Structure 1
């Protein structure tokens, strides 16, 4: 009788174990909350920068805009540092400033977000000779990327990020004469040369000309060359969100602030809409830009920041 009872008990236990194996435990999916990007707030940041005038180094507009940017981002960041330096070019000494803002200082996992805040001194893409010597207002070429990052900074203050974020506004990006690459991207070159050897963020994202009303952002050739995994990850997020202004094909090869960063070991991609008919002209004004375009780009970047828990598939 005892043997029969033991056999029945053994069959029952094995049956229970079999049921457990056939019904594996499924971990509940963690819901990631992504803060909303405020398009109107970002567009106000764009217009505010343009209201100072062309932010050409050594001008009052440049100084006034610098003071505004420093004061504004200081409201949100855990730390703000200025890199002040000079650059000699065309017989002049230009006074330049990189603005560096950091969030979540204790995090060992960091990403870099950047844009340039200066304006081009000469509208060399104008057809009329008299306009070629005029400065560029820089609504899209400069102010748009900064506007997105200022709005992101405001959001990071209200919603502390799960990772470390460094936002850098580079100066002197557009100083060089056409074809003189040595005198473009002065701020990013200075930053790359003078950064701490220990500063190696996981990757960087450069925003340039992201406010165009007719937004079309193709994969940039140098970004794909240097950091294909980050390009693919960012574009996959855009695709998942239904932001199809991020095109799947490669179109332009652009010499931009991401080049000096990559050469210094900071793996950085360039999010840029290079099909902008008002590039380097006096017509680069806020009416050619769109709050909705800023929001689309800002939303993708916010997803990169706050979806860190997904185990970002980059090197």
Structure 2
């Protein structure tokens, strides 16, 4: 009888410990993420066809390879409509936990706009944008996510994709935007169907306000609810559960390819497409808000 009780007690303790272990959620280090943001900006504007673009591409690949040996570059050529010049662009793909067929897609664009054409000073309109929030911020969060996944496997396989040539577009011409995600959607296997995708764009704003983007709400409502409900559970008030802005972004190409994808974006960023989109306009806390939500989703 005593032996039976002892065995039952051991089994109970074992199950309790296993349950506790399954509840472990890693800490998202917002300072690490902000360092990743600043490092990208240290190269200067990452405009396709320039030396800083290539240097940053190499840095991103080398950093991802610290965390997984499944990193590939997907080159493609695109033509800049405003001057007709053809430039080399590169999507960067990193795969984690590849044996897990239940997968999530996390993505962001890593290029920056060649022209600060929304700057209040017309003299700056032909200058390139640094892209601290519009480019570096989403990538920074995902690099920190990659570091975390390397340490502790999540409940999903994860594919991180950095899209190039998102920001070449001309206003009013949707086909000239989001070229890297368009290339990805056209070339990815038709069998690739992650559970869902999350796109990060313009998330670094120190005055962060993350409303629900209208296309995400329209075509991926269930995923939107999971994300914003998770943020509410964590007490992150910068995720505002109201719809605002209809944004043509990389997620639309993924949605058209049959991949459920939500765009987490702060489209009220004051310095969008200006020369003032610099690291001092961003904050570690803003990166941490988004990173914490992603980590909770990965390990729930």
- Normalised to the residue count of structure 2, the TM-score between the two structures is 0.92
Are 2:197 and 1:204 aligned? yes
Distance in structure 1 (CA, Å) of the matches to 2:284 and 2:97: 28
Distance in structure 1 (CA, Å) of the matches to 2:33 and 2:120: 31
For structure 1, the 5+ residue unaligned runs are: 1-26, 308-315
Instruction: Say how many residue pairs are matched.
Output: 281
Match of 1:162 among 136, 155, 158: 155
Match of 2:60 among 69, 80, 91: 69
For structure 2, the 5+ residue unaligned runs are: 1-14
Structure 1 residues 78-227: aligned runs within 5 Å: 78-90=69-81, 91-227=84-220
Contact 1:54/1:62 (8 A) holds in 2 = yes
1:21 maps to which residue? none
SS state at 1:121 partner: coil
Q: Which 4+ runs in 1 deviate beyond 6 A?
A: none
Distance in structure 2 (CA, Å) of the matches to 1:264 and 1:148: 25
Match of 1:277 among 263, 270, 278: 270
Q: Computing the radius of gyration over CA atoms, which structure comes out larger, 1 or 2?
A: 1
- 1:82-136 per-residue CA deviation (whole Å, 9 max, x = no partner) reads 1101012331111000000000001110010000000000011112221011110
Structure 1 residues 219-258: aligned runs within 5 Å: 219-258=212-251
Contact 1:78/1:105 (8 A) holds in 2 = no
Aligned-residue offset at 1:184 = 0.5
- 1:24-73 per-residue CA deviation (whole Å, 9 max, x = no partner) reads xxx97944111001111100000000010100000001000000000001
- Normalised to the residue count of structure 1, the TM-score between the two structures is 0.87
SS state at 1:214 partner: coil
Aligned-residue offset at 1:181 = 1.3
SS state at 1:198 partner: coil
Contact 1:78/1:104 (8 A) holds in 2 = no
Distance in structure 2 (CA, Å) of the matches to 1:290 and 1:237: 21
Aligned-residue offset at 1:78 = 4.1
- 1:253-284 per-residue CA deviation (whole Å, 9 max, x = no partner) reads 11100000000001000000111100000000
Match of 2:47 among 34, 41, 56: 56
SS state at 1:252 partner: coil
Distance in structure 2 (CA, Å) of the matches to 1:166 and 1:291: 24
Contact 1:220/1:271 (8 A) holds in 2 = yes
Distance in structure 1 (CA, Å) of the matches to 2:32 and 2:78: 34
Aligned-residue offset at 1:162 = 2.0
Distance in structure 2 (CA, Å) of the matches to 1:216 and 1:85: 34
Distance in structure 1 (CA, Å) of the matches to 2:272 and 2:151: 35
